[in-house]
Copies of this chain bind each other. A is one copy, B any other.
Amino acid sequence: MDEFERIAYLRSCFAPRDASASPVVLGIGDDAAVLSPGTGNLAISVDAAVQGVHFRLDYADWSTVGARAFSAALSDLAAMGAQPKAALMALIAPELKDEAFRLLIDGYAAASVRYRCPVIGGNLSRGSELSITTTVFGELHGAGVTRAGARVGDSIYVTGTLGDAALGLLLLDARRPELGRAFVERWQKPEARIAEGASLTGLASAAIDVSDGALQDLGHLCAASGVGAELRAAALPLSPNFAELARRLGREPVELALTGGEDYELIYTVPAGGAGGPGTCIGRIVEETAGITVRDANGRPLALQTRGYRHFQG
């Protein structure tokens, strides 16, 4: 396929499925796409998936790479409590075989359909390194759930379980995916927590998604809010077999759960006395000067390696 055949393929894959409910006035193929905004505000975010940094083809096939890039971008909307409305795909790629191109686009388009978030435009460029940069648009009722609203005394929650994706990546690193297929899938096929995020509006005081590790992302939330945090290690939601398998790979489970990235779960805070929402309570917000502490079952602070998650070591 030449460039124009590829654009035609993109147009056919990304054709809107449900035009009646769509805010899309004009989709792929003109100088710009046109959205008819709804009554709410528009949340906007952009995220890049770079080969060798965010994905490797020996760790996920092309179709999975496409879907994963889409989910990772949407996760930022989930963290605001926004409802996805549309996406743009900017693809920079070296000579890519037609088969690889089709699989990548098919995976991306399938994610777009699953999230009901049509791809309305994009850009194709040559380049020596493959990257997929996705801009996403979501609708917000009200101002959205930012990182900056946490207050001392709020409870800290997290959706789902922590560390699964990082454990899956360790299994791939060790060439032992068969030890925990479910963990490998959590890394390969993350899901943006759209419904959970939407349920936080009017309930959570602040929220962030876990892309760089729970401690690091909670740190961003605390910095934006001007607060500190205290977590209870025993309260962390871990998947069955997570602790056992982590130890088998030589990793301390609590540390892996708190520093592993790419879970795309949501960490959020709730004012004292408020409903807890979809997650598990893991701690509380304290004064900024206290920093971030993790305590064991006896209340003793743990010494953790809190370095940030670095995706692949470059």
**CB 8 Å contact bits of A25-64 with B (1 = contact, 0 = none):** 1100111111111000111111110101110000000000
B50 touches A41 (CB 8 A): no
Stretch at the interface among A72-80, A248-256, A279-287: A72-80
A44 touches B120 (CB 8 A): yes
| Total chain A interface residues with beta-carbon distance under 8 A | 58
A314 is an interface residue with CB less than 8 A from chain B: yes
A95 to B101, CA, bound (A): 29
Question: Within the complex, what minimum Cβ distance (angstroms) separates A144 from chain B?
Answer: 6
A127 is an interface residue with CB less than 8 A from chain B: yes
A113 is an interface residue with CB less than 8 A from chain B: no
Partner of A44, one of B32, B131, B224: B32
Oligomeric state, in number of copies?
2
**CB 8 Å contact bits of A132-153 with B (1 = contact, 0 = none):** 0101111010011011100000
Chain B's closest residue to A135 (CB) is: B135
**CB 8 Å contact bits of A15-26 with B (1 = contact, 0 = none):** 000000000011
What B residues does A12 contact at CB under 8 A?
Answer: none
Q: Knowing A32-B77, A131-B127 are in contact, say whether A37-B42 is a contact too (CB < 8 A).
A: yes
A43 touches B50 (CB 8 A): no
What B residues does A41 contact at CB under 8 A?
Answer: 25, 34-37
Interface hub of A32, A53, A135 (most chain B Cβ within 10 A): A32
A306 is an interface residue with CB less than 8 A from chain B: no
A82 to B82, CA, bound (A): 25
**CB 8 Å contact bits of A114-133 with B (1 = contact, 0 = none):** 00000011110111110101
A53 touches B127 (CB 8 A): yes
A52 touches B128 (CB 8 A): yes
What B residues does A138 contact at CB under 8 A?
Answer: 32
Known: A32-B80, A37-B42, A46-B90. 12 other contacts (CB 8 A): A29-B147, A32-B82, A32-B136, A32-B138, A34-B43, A46-B122, A47-B123, A48-B123, A48-B127, A50-B127, A127-B131, A129-B129
9 pairs, CB–CB < 8 Å, chain A vs chain B: A32-B82, A34-B42, A34-B143, A42-B42, A44-B86, A48-B90, A92-B129, A126-B314, A131-B131
